[in-house]
Structure formats: structure tokens, C-alpha cells
Amino acid sequence: MSEGVLEGRVAIVTGASRGIGRAVAERFSAQGAKVAVNWVRGDREARDVVEGIKNHGGDALSVQGDVSRSADVRKLVRATVDAFGRVDILVNNAGVMVSRSVMDTTEEDWDRTIDVNLKGAYLCSKEVVPIMLEQKTGKIINMSSNSGLYHPSAMRFTEYVVSKAGMNGLTKAMALALGPHITVNAICPGWIKTEMIEGTDPEVERRILAETALGRWGTPDEIAGAALFLASKDADFITGELLIVAGGRGMH
């Protein structure tokens, strides 16, 4: 069997029990990485991911933790280092979305969305950076969204949009601060069929497909492919970038 492009690397993927996070964890493992599978709810799903990886000859660890809590983040990183000895790749994927208009959301909705989507990426990055600096190598990949790029049809849910626009800013600021040894990039997916968007109004779905050049939904596996590229040596000279994977939706 040929060696994978991530052979010998260790990755932490937050929110990895389902959807895009699961696809990323599985793709990284298939390419040789050891993976810490983080989750906050969904013990059974996380176990399934880890067991699937091990059944295919990989190595993975399940770690529960809320990325918006610094103590949980410390536990996640410590468990990863204890198990695998290092951290080469961090994928800040954990996220939540409140599917209500701005006048119908609450202060609690705002706080939870910003805490998980934006503060969580900040906390996880801060925790792995000293390890990566000591190694003189590391890759941070933030899972942002096409919704954070200011084209009108995507700016539907205020808290979510603000959190992802903030993540885009965080990506660029950290890229500047953490070079030359650490690269920081973001992926901005378009409309990807996951549990997060279940229950979307069919008329809204039709409108989104109509403005997507490829005329179809994206899949978690397609986002995982973009993450694999950014995690690989092929992307060693790329940092501070927002990689749009949206099927041509919202081109500008």
C-alpha cells in the first residue's frame, strides 16, 4: 500500500462525530494521519467514527469537549499529545447555527453561536500553537462558510454570518502572527447537505440551487478533499487564504 500524504501526522478535528467533521477525520486517516475525534454531543456517533477508522487500519481517539470552554480545550489537546505525541494539524470545524431571523433570536442564541463558532476556533488555536511552534511546523484549518463573504443571498442568519466573517478575520490575523512555521487558512463551503441544514424551506433550497453554477449540493467529502489539500505539503506556501468550495455560488 502506498504511503498517504499525511503519514506520520497527528490531527485534531473538532465537531468530528458527523457531517463535514466526520468526512475530514476519515479522509485524513485514510491518508495516514492519526486523528483526535472531538465531539460535544453524540457519543455513539463519535465511537462509530473511531471504530471505522481503526477497522480500516488507522488510529484515532475520541475526546468529548465543548470548544467554547477553555478547560475542555486543554483536555482535548492534552489527550491528543498523551496518545500521539504531537499535533501537526488542527481543523476548527465545530459549529452551530440558529435558523431564525435576527428579530427572533435571543441573547443566548448570539452568545452560543459566537462562543462555539468563533471563540472555539480561537481557543483551540491558542492551545495548539505552542506545540506547533516547538515543532517548527503546523497547519490550522478553519471551517468558515460562504455566508461570511457578504453576498446577499447567503446572509440569512445574522449570528452565524457574523461568526463566520469573524473566523475569516481570525484566519488572516493568525496567519500573519504565526508565520513562518504555522500556516492558517479557511475553507468557505457553500450549500453542503448535512444535518445542520435539515428542515430548510424548500423554496429557499430551490433559490440556492438556482444561483449555484454547478446546480447541485456539495457533499462533506468534497469539503474533506479541500481540507486534505490544505493539510498536505502541496499547500506549504499558502497561508491567510479563504478557499471557497461552493460550486460557483456567490462568485465575486
242-245 vs 182-189, strand pairing mode: parallel
- CA 87 remoteness from chain centre: 16
Active site residue 122: no
Instruction: Answer yes or no: are the C-beta atoms of 20 and 8 closer than 8 Å.
Output: no
Q: How far apart are CA 161 and CA 147, in angstroms?
A: 5
The residue annotated as part of the active site, out of 39, 84, 160, 191, is 160
Residues 6+ apart with CB under 8 A from 123: 67, 68, 69, 70, 73
Residues 6+ apart with CB under 8 A from 90: 11, 12, 124, 125, 128, 138, 139, 140, 141
Q: Which residue has the cell 468558515?
A: 144
| Active-site amino acid positions | 160
